[in-house]
Structure 1
Amino acid sequence: EHRQAPLSWAAANGHVAVIRLLLERGASIDLTDNGGWTPLSEATASGHEAVVRLLLEKGASIDLTDYGGWTPLLWAAANGHEAVIQLL
């Protein structure tokens, strides 16, 4: 079962306002879920450009890998999200 922290869920679903609120309240920007995914990984895999931009502006790491060894860049490329690739 894929268990996500609230920030990762918001990132996967493109909820910029929720992400801003969670970060203001102290959510960890690079917290991983039970699969090793970060909020940035979730956003890049889903192609949410505004979320990716926000997370990068707030200091999210682009180098963290999930438990399969995939980076956010690999997820964006695998899913054909060219605009997200340019942001990374």
Structure 2
Amino acid sequence: MLLNAGADVNAQGSYYGGALYAAVVGGYEEVVKILLNAGAKIDVQGSQYNSALYEASVRGYEQIVKILLNAGADINAQSTFHSNALQAASTEGHERIVRILLNKGADVNAQCKPYDSALYEAS
């Protein structure tokens, strides 16, 4: 209803950044789909300095990870202060998400500060 009334799908808020990021954090699959279909920018980092794909990966939201990847999310994007989606899923022990990311071409050797590789994070 709000989108039909002209709400800006990419408007930035204070805590979560944009609506897409907030929907991912909440685990709201259908809202994620609606926002993406309405033109939400997929790789914008939320106010928590992470991308939507990172958040879905670290929280174990397998279906949202798939939705974001199918919509063109940058699989190797690094968050501002944290790691990338593969490292996040590895750290949290989300094996199915790790497998999805690897099958979609995530860089298994990517490193970013202050963390190291996905293998290091999984150890």
Query: Which amino acid in structure 2 is aligned with residue 84 of structure 1?
Result: I
SS at match of 1:26: coil
Which of 47, 54, 58 is residue 34 of structure 1 equivalent to? 47
Q: Evaluate the alpha carbon distance shift between residue 3 and residue 14 of structure 1 in structure 2; reply closer, same or farther with a 3 A threshold.
A: closer
With the length of structure 2 as denominator, give the TM-score of the two structures: 0.66
Q: Take 1:39 and 1:69, find their aligned partners in 2: how far apart are those partners? A: 13
Structure 2 gap ranges (5+): 1-13, 102-123
Q: Distance in 1 between matches of 2:45 and 2:81?
A: 13
Q: Distance in 2 between matches of 1:65 and 1:36?
A: 10
1:60 aligned onto 2:73: yes
Unmatched tracts of structure 1, length 5 or more = none
Q: Secondary structure at the match of 1:22?
A: helix
How far did 1:3 drift? 3.0
CA distance in 1, matches of 2:90, 2:15: 22
Seq. identity, % = 31
Post-superposition shift, 1:2?
4.7
Q: Which residue is 2:115 aligned to?
A: none
Deviations 1:37-81 (A, max 9, x none): 111011001000000001001100011111224001111011111
CA contact (8 A) 2:50 2:82 kept: no
Kept after mapping to 1: 8 A contact 2:89/2:97: yes
Task: Give the TM-score normalised by structure 1.
Answer: 0.90
Is 1:4 matched with 2:17? yes
Comparing both structures, which one devotes a greater share of its residues to helix? 1
What residue number does 1:71 align with?
84
Aligned mates of 2:30, 2:48 — CA distance in 1: 25
RMSD over equivalenced CA pairs, Å: 1.5
With CA pairs under 8 Å and 6+ residues apart, which has the higher RCO, 1 or 2?
1
